Structure 1
Amino acid sequence: MLSIHAIPDAFSKSECERVIATISNSPTDEALLVGRNKNHNLRKAELVWTDNLAGMEWVMERLIELVRLANRDQFGFDLREFSESPQVAIYKSSESGHFAWHSDIGGGPVSRKRKLTLVLQLSGSDTYDGGNLEIMPGAQILTANRTQGCVSIFPSFTLHQVSPVKSGTRYSMTVWAHGPAFR
């Protein structure tokens, strides 16, 4: 069975803090929608897309290499591109930040071609409570590693959620690797 591929030391603490500092002065979008679904209870977070932020190129280069190695070693999917900008999600306890159970394959033309989801843990695990990334590759729910700088990679069709943040703020970055739609 396919599961979570974790890379605990993918980014250093200082690199994670550098990403958070870079996005801190960027405008955010409040994520109340997923695709065109207007279910306001599904997700509550602020989002920053990083493609157009100066000084973030090194992050994407590292993420591409991590996906390449994980796909080679564990998944073996037909991957062709990264069609979407990496997204930093900011889940605040003051807003009950969360993302209910979902998969990353949706009805849109780009999301149908998502093959692998990569989540980079940007926050230190001691800076917030709750906010666990939970992944359900089968009947069992697995909790992703909360270590700052850890990358979790899993098939995009896998159900997952971010439980409500109870105190503090959780920062994470997500990017998707794309290929021909699953059959």
Structure 2
Amino acid sequence: MLIEIPALFTKEEVALIRAKLDAQPWIDGNQTSGEMAATRKRNQQLDKDNPVAIDIGQWVMDRLMAHPLYVSAALPLQFYPPLFNRYEGGETFGYHIDNAIRATADGLVRTDLSTTLFLSEPDSYEGGELIIQDSYGTQSVKLAAGSAILYPSTSLHQVTPVTQGERTAAFMWLQSMIRDDGQRRILFDLDQSIQALTAAQADQQQLFNLTGIYHNLLRRWSEL
């Protein structure tokens, strides 16, 4: 399941974020790569302990957690804090699957879902498409600056070579309250239906019943 979160940040906010990020020192992107991924990855990254990156990363997480569509689709339990990368001059990240477990200062995070927040306008660089392969087929993603894409971390994916300009983005992983992707999809579809029926002022008793079903499924499937 791929979910686009359009205009998570305004153009003015993106410009502010970019001004702060661009002023920081960029390092080899393999700082956070696994052994196999490092053989396919050529890009730049901000140090995960960079205080500016940490502050902006917190802003990104707060904005995502305040977005109803994102929360409905992801049902976040805990994040691996956002990282920031840059591709230019032919840099690329070949096909790979993200590591299943990431360590944070607070413990381990299982990577159920991945998120990429685009911070460069798509017409400012050539290449740099996020290609995602999964049971739903192959998708090519290249969104407007300030928009994000949510997708399963189990997906085989790549960033194609950036042959002109530069592509800056934030990327992060999260552990969902619901481990199984199929169960998450059922809950997402049900929640979206409840919201649509609420907006259409559907029968209150039927909405009450559907909401109860949603919460009972969440209770049955969640890992809290």
Q: With structure 1 as the length reference, what TM-score do the two structures score?
A: 0.80
Q: Which letter does structure 1 place at the counterpart of 2:65?
A: I
Alpha carbons 1:50, 1:86 under 8 Å: kept: no
Alpha carbons 2:42, 2:91 under 8 Å: kept: yes
Q: 1:25 maps to which residue?
A: 23
Greater relative contact order structure (CA < 8 Å, 6+ sep)? 1
Cα deviation, residue 140, structure 1: 2.3
Indicate the structure (1 or 2) with the bigger Cα radius of gyration.
2
Q: 1:45 maps to which residue?
A: 43
Identity of aligned residues (%): 24
Match of 2:162 among 153, 161, 165: 165
Distance in 2 (CA, whole Å) between partners of 1:50 and 1:170 is 21
Distance in 1 (CA, whole Å) between partners of 2:166 and 2:3 is 24
SS at match of 1:141: strand
Residue 118 (structure 2) pairs with residue 118 (structure 1): no
1:48-59 correspondence to structure 2 within 5 Å: 48=46, 49=48, 52-53=51-52, 56=56, 57-59=58-60
Q: 1:102 maps to which residue?
A: 96
Q: Which letter does structure 2 place at the counterpart of 1:70?
A: Y
| 1:118-175 CA distance string (max 9 Å, x none) | 1111001111000001111226210114222111001111111100001010011111
Alpha carbons 1:119, 1:173 under 8 Å: kept: yes
1:132-143 correspondence to structure 2 within 5 Å: 132-138=129-135, 140-143=137-140
Distance in 1 (CA, whole Å) between partners of 2:115 and 2:122 is 18
Distance in 1 (CA, whole Å) between partners of 2:32 and 2:59 is 28
Distance in 1 (CA, whole Å) between partners of 2:38 and 2:112 is 26
| 1:11-43 CA distance string (max 9 Å, x none) | 122212211111112222212465341665411
Q: With structure 2 as the length reference, what TM-score do the two structures score?
A: 0.67
Aligned length: 174
Cα deviation, residue 10, structure 1: 1.4
Alpha carbons 1:130, 1:164 under 8 Å: kept: yes
5+ long unaligned stretches in structure 1: none
Alpha carbons 2:91, 2:162 under 8 Å: kept: yes
Distance in 2 (CA, whole Å) between partners of 1:9 and 1:50 is 27
The RMSD of aligned alpha carbons is 2.8
Distance in 1 (CA, whole Å) between partners of 2:136 and 2:61 is 33
1:143-154 correspondence to structure 2 within 5 Å: 143-154=140-151
Cα deviation, residue 69, structure 1: 3.6
Q: 1:35 maps to which residue?
A: 33
Distance in 2 (CA, whole Å) between partners of 1:141 and 1:99 is 16
Distance in 1 (CA, whole Å) between partners of 2:97 and 2:65 is 21
SS at match of 1:63: helix
Q: 2:61 maps to which residue?
A: 60
The alpha-carbon distance between structure 1 residues 142 and 61, as it changes in their structure 2 partners (threshold 3 A), is same
Cα deviation, residue 116, structure 1: 1.3
SS at match of 1:86: strand
